[in-house]
């Protein structure tokens, strides 16, 4: 599969598609239903979380803040009850989409990691929404689908932001080693990601799955969508949709320490 480049408008378009898909998924859902992939959350909690994130990110993008701002500082208000939860979510999605599309992607502002730009946020909101749409579908007993091009970009994104998530996922610091390498391979998408553990952290890169490949100690293989969900902790080792091989301890170390 030829992977087309992503730009600001494409990320904004894709984020809007996923915002609408999430709203459609939860439109008739029981708000009290548990969300197994977000332990302790109900469907209402999931909707409230995502709607709050939309208002938080949209508020920061509008003011192009150079520092992280809190929800209270931005005046974020939450739905007061079940009757207005879905309209509240929809309004947050519309407002976020407008803020993202109006932003200059090269504008300097706070984002995860150093050298933050406003262009970070459409991509982040695309994948935040896609993963949580999958959470909602799994909670409803459905099998989620993720377009291959979104999944490939999502694998790139999660491996990129992993290092910046240490503040709230400290186990990521355990992803160190002496050159051991894992491969996450999506043959149908023509992509293979090589993740190498080093004494001071890790490196990763994407390579052509049809090529000879880098020597690795462990591999997880599947469709791009299933790899994407695996890297976000929504698929587990041993899932029949994934094929794993090689150093079992290395695979276990990844699973135990990579969750964000």
Intra-chain end-to-end CA distance of the chain, in Å: 28
Question: Are 19 and 136 in a shared domain?
Answer: yes
> At residue 114, does pLDDT exceed 90?
no
What pLDDT, on the 0 to 100 scale, is given for residue 3? 58
Distance CA 186, CA 221 (A): 6
**Residue 2: what pLDDT?**
56
Which pLDDT value is given to residue 33? 98
- Considering Cα of 39, then 40, then 44, then 45, what sign does the dihedral take? negative
% of the chain residues with pLDDT over 90: 90
Q: How far apart are CA 72 and CA 171, in angstroms?
A: 29
Beta bridge partners of 218: 182, 246
Q: Is residue 3 part of a domain?
A: no
Contact between 9 and 17 (Cβ < 8 Å): no
**pLDDT computed for residue 115 by the predictor:** 80
Question: In this structure, are 119 and 165 located in the same domain?
Answer: no
| Structural domain boundaries, residue 203 | 154-257
> Does 119 lie in the same domain as 159?
no
d(CA 64, CA 49): 22
Give this prediction's pTM. Answer: 0.96
CA–CA distance, 71 with 59 (Å, rounded to integer): 9
Domain holding 57: CATH number?
A: 1.20.120.450
Does one domain contain both 231 and 165? yes
Task: Quick: pLDDT tens for 155-213.
Answer: 999 999 998 998 889 999 999 999 999 999 999 999 999 999 999 999 999 999 888 87
């Amino acid at each position: 599969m030829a992977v087309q480049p992503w730009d600001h408008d494409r990320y904004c378009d894709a984020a809007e598609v996923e915002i609408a898909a999430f709203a459609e998924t939860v439109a008739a859902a029981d708000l009290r239903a548990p969300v197994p992939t977000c332990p302790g959350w109900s469907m209402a909690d999931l909707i409230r979380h995502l709607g709050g994130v939309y208002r938080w990110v949209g508020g920061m993008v509008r003011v192009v803040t150079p520092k992280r701002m809190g929800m209270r500082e931005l005046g974020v208000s939450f739905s007061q009850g079940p009757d207005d939860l879905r309209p509240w979510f929809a309004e947050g999605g519309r407002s976020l989409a407008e803020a993202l599309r109006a932003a200059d992607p090269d504008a300097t502002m706070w984002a995860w990691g150093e050298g933050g730009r406003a262009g970070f946020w459409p991509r982040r909101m695309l994948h935040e929404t896609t993963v949580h749409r999958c959470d909602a579908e799994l909670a409803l007993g459905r099998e989620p689908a993720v377009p291959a091009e979104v999944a490939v970009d999502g694998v790139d994104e999660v491996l990129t932001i992993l290092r910046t998530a240490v503040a709230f996922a400290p186990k990521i610091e355990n992803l160190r080693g002496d050159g051991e390498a894992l491969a996450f391979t999506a043959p149908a998408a023509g992509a293979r990601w090589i993740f190498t553990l080093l004494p001071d952290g890790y490196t990763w890169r994407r390579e052509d799955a049809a090529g000879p490949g880098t020597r690795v100690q462990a591999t997880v293989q599947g469709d791009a969508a299933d790899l994407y969900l695996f890297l976000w902790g929504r698929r587990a080792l041993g899932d029949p949709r994934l094929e794993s091989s090689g150093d079992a301890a290395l695979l276990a170390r990844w699973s135990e320490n990579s969750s964000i």
